[in-house]
Amino acid sequence: MLATDGVEQIELTEPARALREAGAEVDIVSPKSGTIQGMNHDERGGMIQVDVELKDARSEEFDALLLPGGVANPDKLRTILEAVKFVGAFVAADKPIAAICHGPWTLINAGGVSGKNMTSCLSLQQDLVNAGAIWSDEPVVVDHQLVTSRKPDDIPIFNAAMIELFAMPGPRRMTA
């Protein structure tokens, strides 16, 4: 998972839990080391431990990428060139990517949405359309190597679609 301060906590913790229960190794990658501030909508949540600092992360060491939302998290990430390049490397390598809520903002800056069928929180609809995505208001949308979802209420169906997309025999290492 790629995340920073302001991440919607449940959009990080619940998919990470589901992936681990499915047998995946999940690393939280962030532009900062130590911990990041989780949010529960507009209230502070808990502190979340970072596993790998972005400057030390290599996209080729991961099989898939998960981009949780929250407004502040992807808004910060899409302005950090190193984060955009990291996401862009997954796009260029055609690796599986899952994004929920505002998570697709970073994908826009990484050139990963043009021509893709996607969903997101409603406030990103026009941003995605302007970047060339085909947006629909569905709980989950899967298009080739990309799975997107709208909001925390959609997490159970998002997790199922993400795990199906990310699945392959044996252990896998995934960013979250």
- Which residue among the candidates 41, 101, 121, 144 is catalytic per the annotation? 101
Radius of gyration of the chain (CA): 14
Q: Which two tokens stand for residue 163?
A: 């795990």
Query: Residue 110 in contact with residue 87, Cβ under 8 Å?
Result: yes
- Is residue 101 among the annotated active site residues? yes
Given 41, 102, 121, 144, the catalytic residue: 102
Three-state SS sequence of 17-62? HHHHHCCCEEECEECCCCEEEEEECCEEEEEEECCEEHHHCCHHHC
Cα–Cα dist 1/50, whole Å: 10
41 given a catalytic annotation: no
Expressed in percent and rounded to 5, the helix, strand and coil fractions of the chain are 40, 25, 35
Do residues 32 and 73 make contact, with C-beta atoms less than 8 angstroms apart?
no
Position 129, amino acid: V
> What residues are annotated to the active site?
101-102
